[in-house]
Amino acid sequence: MFDSRLCLKFGDCIRNSGGRIWSEGESLVIDRENITCFDALRDICPSKALTIAGENMSINSIMNEIEKDIPFYEMSGGGVTLSGGEPFTQDGELIELLAELKKRNIHISAETSLHVPWENIEKCLGLVDVFLADLKHTDPEKFAFFTGGNTGLVMENFRKLDNIGAEYVVRVPVVPDFNFSGPELRSIIDFASGLKNSSEIHFIPFHSLAKEKYQLLGKDYLYGNKRNVEKSDLAAYVEYAERKGLTAKIMN
């Protein structure tokens, strides 16, 4: 991530980038797609204009961090939430981490798109306590156009989780021009309420807080001109979901 406002042009990043960072006039050019020397760049910038987000950690290192908070989990009834990217593409490492958490009786939630082969999820049954699963759309063409994915796969995985009695929460990111309309949101709610073990749905309103992060990553933020979806915009859908027998919440 690069913030040009903080750059003092020391050049340390250029010298340690393996030719993947260079200057053109007053600007710094970063070939992000081909950078592999992350550790060499992690703390190289004195002004923190260039930072590396994320790091490789062993299972033991992750558990050492988690164990610091076990007293808090015990007091609050909380636990660990696996977030994204998509946890269920991590395979062997994920299973190992889940097993270590279970040894310590730590409650586990997993945020997931469910856009993975069923066997990836099946391996984790009995290890994940709650699946926080996105249902972004029910229309296959619109889902494919915006995400490149297959909503049929997502919906089928919901049905499989439902049939085996797994605990899950349906989560709906509400995004302008994608699914923020009466017919689309009601279709999502109808699908969720039609699952026999479905009880809870969360609406996650679109906001533009990621705009600056996109800029730091050198990416265009295509939704920069869209207004935030407000809680008041979703009140009618909460009411509709509750009429369908679901507990509905609007998340911050």
Which pLDDT does position 151 carry in this prediction? 97
Domain limits at 236?
59-250
**Is residue 175's pLDDT more than 90?**
yes
Q: What is the C-alpha separation between 109 and 106, in angstroms, rounded?
A: 10
**Is residue 46's pLDDT more than 90?**
yes
Q: Which residues of 133-169 are buried (b: 16+ CB within 10 A; e: fewer)?
A: bbbbbbeeeebeeeeeeebebbbebbeebbeeebebb
- What is the distance between the terminal CA atoms of the chain, rounded to a whole angstrom? 26
**Averaged over 154-176, what is the pLDDT?**
98
Question: Using an 8 Å Cβ cutoff, are 95 and 126 in contact?
Answer: no
Which pLDDT does position 25 carry in this prediction? 87
Which pLDDT does position 85 carry in this prediction? 84
Question: Are residues 224 and 151 part of one domain?
Answer: yes
State yes or no: cis peptide before 92, omega within 30 of 0. no
Using only C-alpha atoms, what is the Rg of the chain? 21
**Averaged over 55-79, what is the pLDDT?**
93
Q: Which of 31, 56, 81 is the last residue of a domain?
A: 56
**Averaged over 210-216, what is the pLDDT?**
92
Which pLDDT does position 224 carry in this prediction? 83
Question: Are residues 189 and 97 part of one domain?
Answer: yes
Confidence of residue 216 (pLDDT cuts 50, 70, 90): very high
Q: What is the mean pLDDT of the chain?
A: 95
Question: Are residues 9 and 70 part of one domain?
Answer: no
Question: Are residues 84 and 32 part of one domain?
Answer: no
Question: Using an 8 Å Cβ cutoff, are 173 and 188 in contact?
Answer: no
**pLDDT by residue (tens digit) across 223-242?**
888 999 999 999 999 999 99
Question: Using an 8 Å Cβ cutoff, are 184 and 139 in contact?
Answer: yes
Number of domains in the chain: 2
Q: What is the C-alpha separation between 50 and 80, in angstroms, rounded?
A: 30
Q: Token match 């017919």: residue? A: 183
Question: Are residues 14 and 78 part of one domain?
Answer: no
Question: Are residues 140 and 122 part of one domain?
Answer: yes
**pLDDT by residue (tens digit) across 72-122?**
999 998 999 999 889 999 888 999 999 999 999 999 999 999 999 999 999
Q: What is each CA distance from 24 to 21, 39, 73, 167, 229, in whole angstroms?
A: 10, 24, 50, 54, 39
**Is residue 252's pLDDT more than 90?**
no
Question: Are residues 115 and 204 part of one domain?
Answer: yes
Question: Are residues 208 and 121 part of one domain?
Answer: yes
Query: What is the domain-level CATH number for residue 147?
Result: 3.20.20.70
Question: Are residues 192 and 106 part of one domain?
Answer: yes
Q: What is the C-alpha separation between 132 and 166, in angstroms, rounded?
A: 11
Question: Are residues 134 and 31 part of one domain?
Answer: no
Question: Are residues 66 and 111 part of one domain?
Answer: yes
Which pLDDT does position 164 carry in this prediction? 97
**Averaged over 201-215, what is the pLDDT?**
94
Question: Are residues 241 and 121 part of one domain?
Answer: yes
**Is residue 26's pLDDT more than 90?**
no
